[in-house]
């Protein structure tokens, strides 16, 4: 299981698939999801297989999610903001 070695600082809350997720202020959506035990962020385009954050630096596009209704957002590049509604991306939404 993931652990946080440091829980200091402010936190913000957003929802992922309707569930509350806590992020440390300034960290990315992907980091907060991983810390909460969530490793699956989208379905692959061709077979619909589950995928999750892989590179954490904006290169692999495996962490694509829908944020406040906008699809194809890179969860590892976007800082979590209070009240964001984040959802897993389904196969037909992925940009090509």
Partner 1 sequence: MNSYDVVIVGAGPAGMACAAEARQAGLSTLVLDEQPRPGGQIFRDIEVSDPGRRALLGKDYAEGARIAEAFRASGADYVSGAVVWNIDSAKRIDYSAGGRSHSVEAKSLVAATGAIERPTPMPGWTLPGVTTVGAAQILLKTSGIVFEDLVLVGSGPLLWLAASQMITAGVPPKAIVETVPKSRYRAAARHVLRALPGWRYLAKGFAMMRAVKRAGVPVHRDAEDIAIEGDSAATAVTFTSGSKRHRIETAHVALHQGVVPNQQMTRVMNCQHRFDESQRAFLPVLSEDFETTVPGVFVAGDGAGIGGAKSAAMRGRLVAMRIAETAGKPVSGERAKLRTALARDAAVRPLLEALYAPSDDVLSPADAVMVCRCEEITAGQIREAVALGAPGPNQVKSFLRAGMGPCQGRMCGLAVSEIIAAARGESPSTVDYYRIRPPLKPLLLSELAGLGAEAPREAAE
Residues interacting with partner 1, by CB under 8 A?
Answer: 1-6, 8, 24, 26-28, 31-32, 34-35, 39-41, 44-47, 49-62, 64, 70, 72, 77, 79, 94-96
Which CB, 13 or 45, lies closer to partner 1? 45
Which CB, 1 or 18, lies closer to partner 1? 1
Contacts with 52 (C-beta within 8 Å, 6 or more apart), sequence order: 38, 39, 40, 41, 42, 62, 63
Q: Which residues pair with 12 in a beta bridge?
A: 23
In the complex, the smallest distance separating the C-beta of residue 67 from partner 1, rounded to whole angstroms, is 11
- What is the C-alpha to C-alpha distance for residues 11 and 82, in angstroms, rounded to an integer? 9
């Amino acid at each position: 299981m993931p652990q946080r070695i440091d829980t200091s600082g402010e936190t913000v809350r957003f929802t992922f698939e309707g569930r509350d997720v806590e992020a440390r202020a300034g960290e990315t959506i992907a980091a907060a999801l991983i810390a909460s035990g969530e490793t699956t962020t989208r379905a692959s385009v061709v077979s619909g297989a589950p995928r999750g954050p892989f590179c954490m630096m904006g290169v692999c596009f495996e962490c694509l999610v829908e944020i406040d209704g906008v699809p194809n957002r890179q969860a590892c590049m976007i800082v979590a903001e209070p009240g964001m509604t984040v959802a897993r991306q389904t196969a037909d939404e992925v940009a090509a």
